[in-house]
Amino acid sequence: MTEEIFQQFRDWIDNRHEYAKEWKERTNKKIIGYLCTYVPEEILYAADMLPVRILGSHEPPTVTEPYIFAMFCHLCRDCLAQGLKGRFNYIDGIVEGQSCLHLRQTFNAWRLHIPTNFAHYIHIPHGIQNPHAIPYLAQELAKFKKTLEDWTGKKITNEGLDKGIKIMNKNRELMRKVHEYRKLDNPKITGIEAMEMVLSSQMVDKQEHSKLLNKLLEELPNRNLNRNPGTRLMIIGSEDDDRVFMKNVEALGATFVIEEHCTGSRYLWDDVVPSEDRLMAIASRYVNRVPCPSKDWPEFTRIQHAVKLAKDFNVQGALVIQNKFCDPHGIEIPPLREALKQVGVQTYPLEFDVTVPWGQFRTRVEAFLETLTGLEELF
């Protein structure tokens, strides 16, 4: 049963477009594409819409050359490529929550070149450590809500917002519970499985996803992976949905026991704390969540969080990845590596592109794993 559940997560990812088209036909409701996890999906669920995250396909995004200068990250170009190729032709609109210039460019190119009925950019504050960010964001969310209402002609009620908050909180809570099983000496799920669980949650109806998570949580206590977990690794950095890389590294005698990025734990770590003012509650969650480094200043709070994760999940080594040209993550590499080193976690940096040179990476990762496990085996 457990294997079937993980297979379902994989199928949802591999057949995401078919799923979405079928969902739309079945429900006769709207689907909204979003680029960054700073988009408050609660409000889209409140509007009775399905939010789906736009991600790339890891094919060279040559079709984007006329629209985005190639010094911007592969994620932003790969996402746009999906739109230009018509793979998201079922979405009714696109929404972006301000995170970085890279994805803003994708949003604008999408708005200008791909037929879309609805496009909205939410100016999520960058200064999340200042006390005015939450009330400011609440007003930005009110504007977003009104724009949606004007477009659909349908009021978004408090009951709807409560429903949206509940759907999102439940899904996050269940995934966090699954993550507890990664803390075990012999984790009950692998890193690739965890990634596929989170990725699929960004692609399908969360209510359906949560049902499956409930089943998974019933099954997991009895699961035995029958594999040596090897070295306990963490992966940390830019957006990462490179499943091939994750799988290949875990085949080298390691397990990713935790990750700190937006297709992993960062997506599910924080809930909305319900309050009478629903938009303030949602705003608080998005300001106080584990931040993208683009918003994390003047203090390095994300790095402190990553250090805590490393300790809590008993991490031996961390792969620090940067999507080439991703400035927010690239800037933090030395402070992050130093902070992890101070708690005894060795790190190794890798620069990701739309595809990764696995042949070279394998040698480098193997060498890193050897440094973590000692050299005795050589003699």
Partner 1 sequence: MTQKYPIEPLKIWNEAKQLRGKYYENYLAAHELGGLRWAGGAWSFSAIPAGLGEDVYSITGEPHGATIAFFKDFTAKCHDAVEAAGFPRTLCAYMRNYWGSILLDKYIQADGNVVDEHPVPDFIWQDHICCSHAKWYQVARWLEEKKGKKVPMYCVDVSVGYSMDKPLEDYKINYIVQQLNDGIEWLEKVTGRTYNDKLLCEAVWNEINATKIWAEICTLNQTIPAPLDEKTMYSLYVMGTLMKHRPECVDIYRKLKAEVEDRVRRGIAAVANEKYRVITDTQPPWGFLKIFREMEKYGVVSLGSLYTFGLIGMWKYRPDGTWAPKDLPLEKPQTREEAVKMIVEWTVDRPEWAHFYLPEVKTKMILSIVKQWKVDAVLLHYNRGCEGLSVHIAENRHGLVKAGVPVFPFEGNMGDEREFDFPGTLARLTAFFESMGLKKLKE
Positions that interact with partner 1 (CB under 8 A): 65-69, 71-72, 98, 100-102, 104-105, 108-109, 112, 121, 123, 125-127, 130-133, 136, 139, 143, 293-294, 297-298, 300, 322, 324-325, 327-328, 330-335, 337, 349, 351
Q: 284 phi and psi, to 5 degrees?
A: -60, -40
**Contacts for 36-39 with beta carbons within 8 Å, 24 or more apart?**
36/96, 36/97, 36/98, 36/99, 36/100, 36/103, 36/262, 36/292, 37/97, 37/202, 37/262, 37/266, 37/267, 38/97, 38/98, 38/99, 38/122, 38/124, 38/286, 38/292, 39/95, 39/96, 39/97, 39/122
Residue (219 or 327) nearer to partner 1, CB: 327
CB of 354 to partner 1, least distance (A): 15
Cα separation, 261 vs 266, in Å, equals 5
Q: Nearest distance from residue 351's CB to partner 1, in Å?
A: 7
Whole-number minimum distance, CB 366 to partner 1, in Å?
A: 21
Residue 81 φ/ψ, nearest 5 degrees: -55, -40
Taking the least distance from each CB to partner 1, the nearer of 194 and 336 is: 336
- Find out whether 304 and 343 touch, Cβ atoms under 8 Å: no
Which is nearer to partner 1, 103 or 199 (by Cβ)?
Answer: 103
Locus of tokens 């040698």: 363
Q: Least separation, in Å, of the C-beta of 239 and partner 1?
A: 14
Q: Which two tokens stand for residue 203?
A: 């692609």
Q: Least CB distance from residue 258 to partner 1, whole Å?
A: 22
Is 118 or 300 the residue whose CB approaches partner 1 more closely?
A: 300
At residue 140, the 3 state secondary structure works out as helix
Helix (H, G, I), strand (E, B) or coil at 184: coil
Nearer to partner 1, 162 or 327 (CB): 327
Q: Toward partner 1, which CB reaches closer, 63 or 217?
A: 63
For partner 1, which is the closer residue by CB, 44 or 133?
133
Helix (H, G, I), strand (E, B) or coil at 94: strand
Indicate the residue among 90 and 136 with the shorter CB distance to partner 1: 136
Helix or strand run (H / E) with residue 122? strand 118-122
Query: What Å distances lie between residue 149 and 44, 46, 152, CA to CA?
Result: 11, 11, 5
CB of 128 to partner 1, least distance (A): 8
Minimum distance between the CB of residue 219 and partner 1, rounded to whole angstroms?
Answer: 42
User: Closest distance between partner 1 and the C-beta of residue 129, in Å?
Assistant: 9
Q: What is the CA radius of gyration of the chain?
A: 20
Handedness of CA 166, 12, 6, 3 (dihedral sign): positive
Nearer to partner 1, 26 or 132 (CB): 132
- We find the least distance from the C-beta atom of residue 288 to partner 1, in angstroms, to be 15
Taking the least distance from each CB to partner 1, the nearer of 105 and 169 is: 105
**Strand 231-237 relative to strand 254-260: parallel, antiparallel, unpaired?**
parallel
CB of 46 to partner 1, least distance (A): 21
Neighbours of 228 (CB within 10 A): 9
| 377 phi and psi angles, rounded to 5 deg | -60, -20
Please, where are the H alpha helices in 123-190? 133-152, 158-180
Residues ≥6 apart with Cβ < 8 Å to 103:
35, 36, 75, 76, 79, 96
